[in-house]
Amino acid sequence: MIETERTILRPITNSDNEQIFSYRSDSETNKYQGWVPKSLEEVNEFISKNPNTFNTPETWFQLVIDEKQTNEIIGDIGIHFIDDNNFQCEIGCTLNKRHHGKGFAFESLKATIDYLFKKLNKHRIVTSIDPKNIDSIKLVERLGFRKEGHFKESLWFKGEWADDVIYAALKSDWK
């Protein structure tokens, strides 16, 4: 669907379940994620909820990040097509810890954002980040997102109130 120099981004499929489970179930690496599956069945259920059609309002669509060299799934990108007018979306990325610090998240997100702005004509893309997740904040800032808000104790997350920081990019600002 979307190709970069080192990756292919494509819709998640049922046969991806074991590879998804291998990195998504790591609770330490994914401590800022809302979904950390405890079983393969949870992953199967997650995959089954992925819409059949990309760019459908009011849905989350999951892409996997395949590394071309190894043909291994190294992460995933979720895209929430927010509104009925379909001008805005939210993105999030999860990457296998073995591939952190190698530029895969930046490369994959940049290509996804390019696609959303240039091919799908989105006006605005947002992302929601725990302010303790410094690496993700640095990543979205490198991508050109700006901080729009910091909401104190706005989410009930893993048994406690957590802050939420919102970053966004506009098509008119995207290079």
Check residue 123 and report its DSSP letter.
S
pLDDT band at 42 (very low <50, low <70, confident <90, very high): very high
Sequence-distant (≥ 6) Cβ neighbours of residue 6 within 8 angstroms: 67, 68, 69, 104, 107
**In the structure encoding, which two tokens stand for residue 68, read together?**
């071309």
pLDDT for the residue numbered 158 = 85
Structure confidence by residue, pLDDT tens digits, 107-166? 999 999 999 999 999 999 999 999 999 999 999 999 999 999 999 999 998 889 999 999
2-173 is classed CATH 3.40.630.30 = yes
Enumerate the β-bridge partners of residue 95: 75
pLDDT band at 1 (very low <50, low <70, confident <90, very high): confident
Q: Is the pLDDT of residue 72 over 80?
A: yes
How many angstroms separate the CA atoms of 169 and 122, rounded? 10
Q: Whole-prediction pTM value?
A: 0.94
How many angstroms separate the CA atoms of 164 and 172, rounded? 25
